[in-house]
Amino acid sequence: MRREYTSCVSLRLRARRKRFETPGQSEGVARDTIDSTFDQIRSMKVRGAGRIARSAVSALKVYCESGKFDSTKGFYGGLFTAGEKLKQARPTAVSLPNAVNYVLASARRKQAAGGTLRGSVKAMQEVCDAFLTSSLRATRTIGEYGSKRIRDGDVVLTHCNSEAVTAVLTAAHEAGKRFEVIATETRPRFQGRITASVLAGRGLDVTLIPDTAVRVYMRKVDTVVVGADAIAANGAVINKIGTSQVALAAHETRARFYVAAETYKLSPTTMTGELVEIEQRSPLEVAPRAWLEANAAVKVQNPAFDVTPPEYVDLIITERGIFPPQGIILLMKDLYGVPWSD
């Protein structure tokens, strides 16, 4: 479990399958960090939309700090190449391109404005730091806002492992509310065990259940709180596979269904009708190699995420306030502008 919290910066550098080319910069730690961060995200050693975003930006910061750059052009060129590579590590969590684009958009503006190499490097380090700080602050704020929605005596169900959700539940616990948490185990990667272990470690009352038991337990659940990898312009929520089944069961029993997500999980491209790509992962996460080989005629599908339609979502808790899913488009326009206006 400890591995789940490993910062990309401190990761042991590993053999690399794909090499990252850094124009104008010597060999070294920057390339290793970008490549190892890419691998850590892809292999889910770093996982969860928020951590993925911070991990990528931390790697860009290491790039800024580590090199002897030949020129400003070389520095920015390497940063753009690194950012573009990192964005490819996992397809669904929009936090990743949003976080990297935040850094790269700033780099484009600063490059256009001119300036010394030293000033450029320093400025980009500060941009990375600004993202990292505001990301952590956003999660804390969501915890504070979301905790007010948890009532004494509630039974709260959550699925997968989300830092935004654990922030909500921890803040409610610290505010003295007494409630019970049910955590689904979240097959095939069992992220629910992380949630259960983290919350129990903080003194919360937690029960771990198989995913297949959700409908049985939903009868006693008052509130569901889940995280998000992406939120579409229509308020649909893309989160760990199984979330939409949890939402259906909650809808049936009239349990409230809340989503806790930082605003950098809003997907701006969905404003113009783009769909969020759902990651398909290896069959080896579903069955062991020997079984797959013995049953070669069996096709295996392993989608990592699913889409919960807005009709099944009551509220989306962000650091900018709490919104019904239908209100998300207003927040998106505010943050990203109106896409068809330029």
Kindly list the residues in this chain that would bind ligand RUB in the complex (CB under 6 A).
47-50, 93, 160, 162-164, 191, 227-229, 239-240, 304
Q: How many residues does the chain have?
A: 342
- Find the shortest distance in angstroms from Cβ 225 to ligand RUB: 10
- Find the shortest distance in angstroms from Cβ 342 to ligand RUB: 30
Q: How many DSSP H helices and E strands does the chain contain?
A: 11, 10
**Nearer to ligand RUB by C-beta: 31 or 240?**
240
> Which residue's beta carbon is nearest to the bound ligand RUB?
227
Name the burial class of residue 12, with classes exposed (0-12), middle (13-18) and buried (19+) by CB atoms within 10 angstroms of its CB. exposed
- Find the shortest distance in angstroms from Cβ 277 to ligand RUB: 14
**Cα separation of 59 and 36, whole Å?**
9
- Find the shortest distance in angstroms from Cβ 184 to ligand RUB: 11
- Find the shortest distance in angstroms from Cβ 295 to ligand RUB: 25
DSSP string, 144-188: HHHHTT--TT-EEEE-S--HHHHHHHHHHHHTT---EEEEE--TT
Closest CA to 188 of 90, 298, 286: 286
Q: Which of 160, 222, 306, 342 is catalytic?
A: 160
**Nearer to ligand RUB by C-beta: 93 or 206?**
93
Residue 160 appears among annotated catalytic residues: yes
- 131's tokens: 């993202």
**Nearer to ligand RUB by C-beta: 164 or 206?**
164
- Find the shortest distance in angstroms from Cβ 310 to ligand RUB: 17
**Nearer to ligand RUB by C-beta: 120 or 184?**
184
Helix, coil or strand: residue 103: helix
Cβ of 208: how many Cβ atoms within 10 Å? Answer: 18
Residue 229 appears among annotated catalytic residues: yes
Contacts of 188 (CB under 8 A, 6+ apart): 285, 286, 302
**Nearer to ligand RUB by C-beta: 149 or 240?**
240
Q: Which of 32, 39, 222, 229 is catalytic?
A: 229
Helix, coil or strand: residue 261: coil
**Nearer to ligand RUB by C-beta: 124 or 160?**
160
Enter the DSSP assignment of 295.
T
Angle, nearest 10°, between helix axes 49-66 and 95-113?
30
**Cα separation of 184 and 193, whole Å?**
8
User: Which are the catalytic amino acids?
Assistant: 160, 229
